[in-house]
Amino acid sequence: MQKYNIAIVGATGAVGQEFLKILAEREFPVGKLSLLATARSAGKLIEWQGQSYTVAETSPEAFAGIDIALFAGGSASTVFAQDAVARGAVVIDNSSAFRLDPAVPLVVPEVNPQDVAWHKGIIANPNCSTIIMAAAIKPIFDAAGIKRIVVSTYQAVSGAGREGIEELAAQTRELVEGREVTAQVFPYQIAYNLIPRIDVFQEGDYTKEEWKMVKETQKIFHAENMAITATTVRVPVFRSHSESINIETERKITASQAREVLAQAPGLVLIDDPSADKYPMPLFAADTDAVYVGRIREDLSIERGLNLWVVGDQIRKGAATNAVQIAELLLK
């Protein structure tokens, strides 16, 4: 089997570490592996597949001979992605830098795999919440069309990286021990609290995270007229994002029909049995690759409406797994 030289930029972070785990799990044909990060992390040793790798500082020269460069996100993308492409690598980028660039495909493999074919060296990985929603609504889109989406997210602290996880854990200990709570990663205490703001506020007092869900979903589905509104909320959950999605379809589809198409869709797991109190929860979705769908019911306030409850691990399917799946599409 042909093997491919892989570089991981941001290898020491949460998504970078997940890249390594998923490459191993999916038996990706890795030849040479280059682990790259900032100067501060250079020199660290990382064990992978029985070998020890030394993390190097990211530089343009580090991409010589690399076939696929997986960028975990952050400022490195704008600094080094074009250098990687110039040296012959295909960049799969997890940052927001290229997602809305019309010359760059924005891909969820279960939704628009065909868009990989027109890349010019860079393929963008969508926002984590966008990926989870797009995978869940694709079967509905194909079966009945989608006119409008109203989505509210319940996003885990790991969406803010390792620092977010550590802050929730620390604040929980502080509260239990009766000490003063310190907040550095999030603008307010997140333990035992909800914060209805993720990223900065932008046009119309929507946050950047909310606009990502709107604009990225329209691009992925090639549906500029799809009406979408979003409210994104940080919740005191360590891992896995949840989403309440209300859909108005172009054509009538019943809840039963929706369950049927969702049950058959790749990458989805249907958990929808109210009589047995079964539905998706972040507790069970963590560290898995599937997107879980349940609480499927018709919206009785409109003629063609559906409600869905969707959960997915935003570090895996919402980031690293989706990127590796894109790499697998390249191999094909």
Please compute Rg for the chain using Cα positions. 20
Tokens 């047995």: give the residue. 276
The string of DSSP letters for 152-193 reads EEEE-GGGG-HHHHHHHHHHHHHHHTTPPP--SSSSS--TT-
Measured CA to CA, the distance from residue 297 to residue 307 in angstroms comes to 5
Q: Catalytic residue among 241, 304, 316, 317, which?
A: 241
Q: How far is CA 93 from CA 47, 77, 105, 215, 264, in A?
A: 23, 7, 11, 17, 29
Catalytic annotation on 201?
A: no
Contact 167, 185 (CB under 8 A): yes
Nearest residue to 58 via CA among 39, 45, 33:
39
Q: Catalytic residue among 14, 72, 128, 230, which?
A: 128
82, amino acid identity: Q
The string of DSSP letters for 41-99 reads TTT-EEEETTEEEE-EE--GGGGTT-SEEEE-SSTHHHHHHHHHHHTTPEEEE-SSSST
- What's 308's DSSP letter? E
Tokens coding 305:
């409406």
Helix (H, G, I), strand (E, B) or coil at 274: helix
Catalytic annotation on 128?
A: yes
Measured CA to CA, the distance from residue 98 to residue 105 in angstroms comes to 9
Q: How far is CA 52 from CA 34, 47, 49, 81, in A?
A: 11, 4, 8, 26
Contact 289, 268 (CB under 8 A): no
94, amino acid identity: N
Task: List active site positions.
Answer: 128, 241
